[in-house]
Amino acid sequence: MGAFGASVNCHRDGMAWGRTVKLTLYLETSVVGAYLDNDDPFRRDLTLRWWEYDLGEYQPFVSPLVYHELEQLAEPYRSAYLNLIRPLPQLPLRDEATMLAAGYVGSGIFQRRFLADAFHVALASVHNIDFFVTWNFGHIASIHRQARVRRFNLISGFPCPIIVTPEFLVMTGI
């Protein structure tokens, strides 16, 4: 990959210098949901295109929380979404993520009723994920919220993923 490709040539998580490592992604539930979302054709089409052509340039992850949220949906969507993410590795739940999410709520970064959103971000943070991918503009993909999460994580000693929508990760055709 070139200087602006999705692969990096650096030391990360015990990998040796000079070895190409794909950048990591955490796929939040709204991105999976957009794949079949006929209510928003732009978002659906962009997500489909990105998923089919660009997702392979990264190392994507989901979590048990994503599975849980998708399992709450009615059929036929539930099965379609679960089949879509089945091949993706899951990040294990960690106590540090629970504590970090509680810290986000306690400091007012997330409201208590959006604890699941806070936990998604915390889980990606404690696993040192590069990009947190979401279509959730209301509770997650806000530049102001991202700045507050970054500051909180820095003070707490955790890395912070870059929060983006799929359109920022499109690589093909560039």
β-strand 21-22 against 7-8: which pairing, if any?
antiparallel
Domains of the chain: 7-168 (3.40.50.1010)
How do residues 60-82 score in pLDDT, each as one tens digit?
Answer: 999 999 999 999 999 999 999 99
Average pLDDT over residues 118-124: 97
Mean pLDDT estimate for the chain: 88
What average pLDDT does range 125-141 have in this prediction? 92
The secondary structure of residue 18, as a DSSP letter, is T
Inter-residue contact 136 to 120 (CB < 8 Å): no
pLDDT tens, position by position, 9-34: 444 444 545 567 899 999 999 999 99
Q: What is the pLDDT of residues 78-111, one digit of tens each?
A: 999 999 999 999 999 999 999 999 999 999 999 9
The per-residue pLDDT for 8 is 45
pLDDT at position 173, please? 59
Quick check: 54 pLDDT over 60? yes
Exposure on the CB side of residue 85, measured as CA atoms within 13 A? 31
pLDDT of 20: 74
Q: Is the confidence at residue 41, as pLDDT, over 50?
A: yes
**Section 29-49 average pLDDT:** 91
Structure tokens given for 164 = 């983006």
Q: What is the pLDDT of residue 1?
A: 38
